[in-house]
Amino acid sequence: MFDVLWEDNHLLFANKPAGVPVQGDSTGDVHFLEMAEEYIRVKYNKPGAAFVGLVHRIDRPVSGVVLFAKTSKALTRMNDIFREKQNVKVYHALTSTPLIEESGTLEHYLIKDSEAHRAHAYNQPRGAAKHSVLHYKLLSSIAGRFLYEITLESGRFHQIRVQLSKMGCPIIGDLKYGAKNNLHDRSIALHAHTLVTPHVVKDLPSVTVHAPYPRKQWWGLFKEDLMKKGPKRYR
């Protein structure tokens, strides 16, 4: 099922399940871009292939909001918006170890290891390492699990995963970055929860989209807790 969160004539926001690649890879598995193309083709009864442009990516084991452009002009405009960092990306992450402070900022220098398909974080500048910043806030804790809201200031490869791991707080299920156990579906407990972006049509208001949590026990417990604290805590 292709879970549409918001769309108009220019943009399409959808909720990607964990385990589905955003675009084609060496596995040959069905990917999310392919699913978006099929959704557009069927909904609008297009005889041939539908144009759908992928604006950004999230990792395969990560769930949450992904943005597509429905025209080439919209794709060009959104690429500019993302490159200029006019958008806001908010993630929710579960860890089994808390960070020392309940809220704060993490700054590291990251190097991508393409051969090992992972990143390395350093406390000081190092060679070609890229300065990486995120802001975090503890939202809830239940039974030794901790839910953090994370806002990216930079958007590096595996940034949240490697920065939390560097602090001794790997994301639950993320074996690549130090989690002790995997989740049964091989996902990791990282969810792209909110995306705020200017619209491609400058006269239209900005778009804010929230992706509901996956229907899994570990997310459901936190959803219930946040709803009790107030609907604004969970959207």
Cα 115 to the center of its chain, rounded Å = 23
Residue 19 makes CB contacts below 8 A (sequence gap 6+) with: 60, 61, 185, 186, 187
Please indicate whether residue 80 is annotated as part of the active site: no
Q: Which of 3, 8, 25, 59 is catalytic?
A: 59
Closest CA to 17 of 163, 197, 216: 216
Residues classed as catalytic: 59
